[in-house]
A and B are shown apart, each in its own frame.
Chain A
Amino acid sequence: MPGMQTTTKPPEMRQAIVTLDGVTKRFPGIIANDRVDLVIRAGEVHVLLGENGAGKSTLIGMLSGLQQPDEGRILIDGKAMPIRSPSHALSLGIGTVFQHNMLVPSLTVAENLALGGKWWQKPRLGELAARVDEIARPLGININLDAVVSDLSLGEQQQVEIVRALLRNSRLLILDEATSMLTPQGIAELGALMRRLVERGLAVVFITHKLGEAAEFGDRVSVLKLGRKVGEIGPDRLRSLEHDELVDEIVSKMFGRNAGDGAISIPDRPANDEALLAVRDLRVLPGKDTSGLEAISFMVGRGEILGVAGIDGNGQKQLAEALAGQRRTDGGSVTLAGRSLDGLDVGKRRELGLRYLTDDRLGEGTVGTFPVSINYFLKQIGEPPFWRSGIEHSREINTHARDLTRQFDVRTPSLSTPVGRLSGGNIQKVLIARELAEGARAVIFNKPTYGLDLANTQATRQRIRDVAGQGLAVLLISTDLEELLSMCHRIAVMSQGRLVGTIANGAGAGERVGRLMIGLAA
């Protein structure tokens, strides 16, 4: 491990661990990285910013040996060194937390952490426990080593991945949107940890869409746009700027305009207060590795946005699925505009105007190998004008798909591109476009802005506000408290399958929600 003194050197003199030299990566129809130069130095948290599809993950893929650059060089400690494979990357001291979960769901946490040992060895699970404890405790992470990963919530899984990356004693630690599932508390702890690591002389690459985090934790910020590096803000300048100025500067680099439209604006509600979506005593039996729901009751009025807050894995997904008709209920009733939805299947509920935006875009939201165009209409198969007498009308489909692509700013090489090849954020836009198609009365949004960049996040939030403004009922499930506070009329808090309280948005609401989330009275 390099000495402590590295941190005391002037920033530009610090030792470069990894250097990217004119790195280019092409995919069919797109240049994901275009002659990117980047120097990653020991002792720095290097924040990588960029809108969805800017090429951040692609860059990380090359650093961790998953992808090979088409052009350009990667230098390690100043020497050109093609990173041939993930194991080569690991042996070079590059540890990565990937954007998409890289844990084996059927193995336990301990087994996942042990993965990668020599095949003839016995996994040393005992030894592991001690080391995990050593690493996790200061982070405030508490993981059960014997739990099977598929039983963990996505947030917990992300914690496991962070611990795994730290276990490796890497010289360069890469975190690709590793904070997206963490609680504010967890994010703060991670920030502190990154600080300690770079003080020991490591380098950290930190990718996030939350500019606040970038400003707070970063020593250096690089901005990617359309695959090119469009700017870099060094440590000196970073320190000299005020938080808001910094955000403005980054935003203008990323999007070519100023921020500022991300302000809190809760849409007005139409005068009438009739309950559009009413849920009474909804129950779901717990599954083998999912929590159930206990006596959930709430109402959402016309034009109202009801937020559902809570730490991930407390029954939010079960609630959304039960409402959408995807999950068996064990009692209770749901009415939409006075019509009972009980016993109706997914399709019927949709016909009556209930829409559900899933948080699992790849798993159930889309068919990855199907073209973008078809994925827009996955929930309308057989309906006119796209299908008439059961026959597909490609012209109609393509015309509408083109409109939606423009309207929702979906970045795709073509309408026939398999949707799975789009970046996560762009897949999300396809889903949003689909759910807001005509005929909606109540929409359930499950983590609608997860993984979206700033501009898209703001656009999506505005769409949700517009939806409410048109008199629809909106149920907004999110783990991002700020998001809820910026949009909702009321916020309900879920904990262990129950609604533990509902709070009207306004001054001090954030604090009261936070207290409810951790089990205190509001």
Chain B
Amino acid sequence: MGGFLSETFLAALLFGAITAAIPLLLAGLGEQMSEKAGVLNIGIEGMMIAGAYAGFLGAYYSGSFWLGFATGAAAGILVAALMALLCVRLGLNQIVIGIALTLGLEGLTALLHHFQFSRSYPRLPAAQVTPIPLLAEIPVFGPALFRHHLIVYLAVAAVFAMIWVYRRTQLGLNLQAAGDKPAALDVAGIDVVRTRTAAVLFTGGMAGLGGAYLANVGAGLFIPFITNGAGFLGIVLAMLARGRPLWVLAGALIFGGCLSLTTAAQVAGINVPTDVIQMVPFLAVMAMLVLFGRRASLPAALGIPYERGAR
């Protein structure tokens, strides 16, 4: 019999792991930049759900996934702009605003969905995949890893782009300074508020993209509360990674992999209560925290609004 351990099944599991990991990766990379610049962006869940909703709208009405990603990112950026205005420019408490935005957008998207789609539940066609020549032919790994929507490769490429930005560019220095010692950045002639605003907007864009991916590619539709805490997981991954994009990728893949493992265990017919199995992904992250979380030196000014000349 095919079933467990068949090539297709293993490939599907791996494929599923990647699909589950991508929204976390995007959100984590985005959050990482905010945190690097000193803004604890708790509102990322709200940005994701806004991205999911707007992304679905865009893709559904235009018929183009790319337009969907664009509208998703734009919605995330819009929410982030509000956050930047309130928390970076005015210096309001980041946790209050973050949670408020999350609550508000979860509620708002659920409302909009109710009035717009709750009688029709429209769905998108399958996302078009771009197989990578040659690699896509490898058994199991080919279809699992190298037959995805182009955005997946872009997300992975973004990891390396981020590494480059952080290590090699002036922008990387500015971001780090904004998070570690904003006053030093300010007196060096760089506007801290602008730097942090840019970082928060980037976070919004990435989170919105992650939400759009989740809705359009991951689910193929939007339903209320579809993000289900993915944004909070993004925060955990970003903090765990402490500024290193590659670790966000690793963390997202481990989480996605564990999700697939829970499916595999069930399909294999292992008779363990499902609720227990389903704690595995969280246990995995917790284990990573215990093992690698030591002396997690977060940016010194994380969460503290910058006010010029204040003491």
Direct A–B contact present (CB less than 8 angstroms): yes
Q: Does B311 contact A (CB under 8 A)?
A: yes
Q: Does B279 contact A (CB under 8 A)?
A: no
Instruction: Return B230 CB to nearest CB of chain A, in Å.
Output: 29
Chain B residues, CB < 8 A from A153:
none
Chain A residues, CB < 8 A from B174:
115, 119
Q: Does A376 contact B (CB under 8 A)?
A: no
Known contacts being A120-B171, A123-B169, A421-B311, is A106 close to B187, with CB within 8 Å? Answer: no
Q: Does B113 contact A (CB under 8 A)?
A: no
| CB pair A105 B300 closer than 8 Å | yes
Interface residues in B, total, Cβ within 8 A: 24
- Against B, the Cβ 8 Å flags (1 = close, 0 = not) of A133-146 are 00000000000000
| CB pair A123 B177 closer than 8 Å | no
Instruction: Return A401 CB to nearest CB of chain B, in Å.
Output: 21
Known contacts being A102-B187, A120-B170, A122-B170, is A115 close to B177, with CB within 8 Å? Answer: yes
| CB pair B191 A121 closer than 8 Å | no
How far is it, in angstroms, between the C-alpha of A103 and the C-alpha of B186 when the chains are bound?
Answer: 11
Instruction: Return B184 CB to nearest CB of chain A, in Å.
Output: 5
How far is it, in angstroms, between the C-alpha of A116 and the C-alpha of B311 when the chains are bound?
Answer: 22
Most buried by A among B189, B191, B308: B189
Known contacts being A66-B308, A114-B173, A119-B171, is A104 close to B187, with CB within 8 Å? Answer: no
Chain A residues, CB < 8 A from B176:
104, 106-107
How far is it, in angstroms, between the C-alpha of A64 and the C-alpha of B300 when the chains are bound?
Answer: 24
Chain A residues, CB < 8 A from B195:
119
Q: Does B181 contact A (CB under 8 A)?
A: yes
In the complex, residue of chain A having the shortest beta-carbon distance to the beta carbon of B194: A119
Instruction: Return A243 CB to nearest CB of chain B, in Å.
Output: 35
- Contact for A121 among B170, B177, B309, CB less than 8 A: B170
How far is it, in angstroms, between the C-alpha of A203 and the C-alpha of B240 when the chains are bound?
Answer: 49
| CB pair B170 A118 closer than 8 Å | yes
Q: Does B40 contact A (CB under 8 A)?
A: no
Q: Does B188 contact A (CB under 8 A)?
A: yes
In the complex, residue of chain B having the shortest beta-carbon distance to the beta carbon of A103: B184
Known contacts being A61-B309, A86-B186, A421-B311, is A104 close to B168, with CB within 8 Å? Answer: no
Residues of A contacting B: mostly: loop
How far is it, in angstroms, between the C-alpha of A120 and the C-alpha of B198 when the chains are bound?
Answer: 13
Residues of B contacting A: mostly: helix
How far is it, in angstroms, between the C-alpha of A112 and the C-alpha of B195 when the chains are bound?
Answer: 16
How far is it, in angstroms, between the C-alpha of A112 and the C-alpha of B308 when the chains are bound?
Answer: 19
Known contacts being A90-B189, A103-B184, A104-B184, is A420 close to B311, with CB within 8 Å? Answer: yes
- Restricting to A55-95, which residues have a CB under 8 Å from any CB of B? 61, 64, 66-67, 85-87, 90-91
Q: Does B183 contact A (CB under 8 A)?
A: yes
Q: Does B185 contact A (CB under 8 A)?
A: yes
Chain B residues, CB < 8 A from A90:
188-189
Q: Does A117 contact B (CB under 8 A)?
A: yes
Interface residues in A, total, Cβ within 8 A: 32
How far is it, in angstroms, between the C-alpha of A245 and the C-alpha of B40 when the chains are bound?
Answer: 57
Chain A residues, CB < 8 A from B180:
104-107
Q: Does B99 contact A (CB under 8 A)?
A: no
| CB pair B183 A102 closer than 8 Å | yes
Q: Does B219 contact A (CB under 8 A)?
A: no
How far is it, in angstroms, between the C-alpha of A90 and the C-alpha of B190 when the chains are bound?
Answer: 10
How far is it, in angstroms, between the C-alpha of A421 and the C-alpha of B174 when the chains are bound?
Answer: 28
Chain B residues, CB < 8 A from A120:
169-171
- Restricting to B146-193, which residues have a CB under 8 Å from any CB of A? 168-171, 173-174, 176-177, 180-181, 183-191
Chain B residues, CB < 8 A from A208:
none
Q: Does A111 contact B (CB under 8 A)?
A: yes
Chain A residues, CB < 8 A from B177:
104, 107, 115
How far is it, in angstroms, between the C-alpha of A66 and the C-alpha of B174 when the chains are bound?
Answer: 18
Instruction: Return B187 CB to nearest CB of chain A, in Å.
Output: 5
Chain A residues, CB < 8 A from B187:
64, 66, 86, 96, 98, 102
How far is it, in angstroms, between the C-alpha of A85 and the C-alpha of B168 when the chains are bound?
Answer: 27
| CB pair A115 B171 closer than 8 Å | no
How far is it, in angstroms, between the C-alpha of A116 and the C-alpha of B190 when the chains are bound?
Answer: 6
Known contacts being A66-B309, A90-B189, A115-B174, is A103 close to B169, with CB within 8 Å? Answer: no
Known contacts being A67-B309, A122-B170, is A104 close to B181, with CB within 8 Å? Answer: yes
- Contact for A119 among B168, B170, B300, B311, CB less than 8 A: B170
| CB pair B189 A122 closer than 8 Å | no
Most buried by A among B176, B184, B185, B311: B184
In the complex, residue of chain B having the shortest beta-carbon distance to the beta carbon of A91: B189
Instruction: Return B88 CB to nearest CB of chain A, in Å.
Output: 16
| CB pair B173 A87 closer than 8 Å | no
Chain B residues, CB < 8 A from A61:
309
How far is it, in angstroms, between the C-alpha of A27 and the C-alpha of B32 when the chains are bound?
Answer: 37
Instruction: Return B222 CB to nearest CB of chain A, in Å.
Output: 36
- Contact for A117 among B170, B191, B309, B311, CB less than 8 A: B170
- Against B, the Cβ 8 Å flags (1 = close, 0 = not) of A366-407 are 001000000000000000000000000000000000000000
A-B pairs with beta carbons under 8 Å apart, 9 shown: A102-B183, A102-B184, A102-B187, A103-B184, A104-B181, A107-B173, A115-B184, A116-B190, A368-B311
Chain A positions near chain B (C-beta within 8 angstroms) = 61, 64, 66-67, 85-87, 90-91, 96, 98, 102-107, 111-112, 114-123, 368, 420-421
Additional pairs, 4, CB under 8 Å, beyond known A86-B308, A91-B189, A103-B184? A66-B186, A87-B189, A106-B176, A111-B173
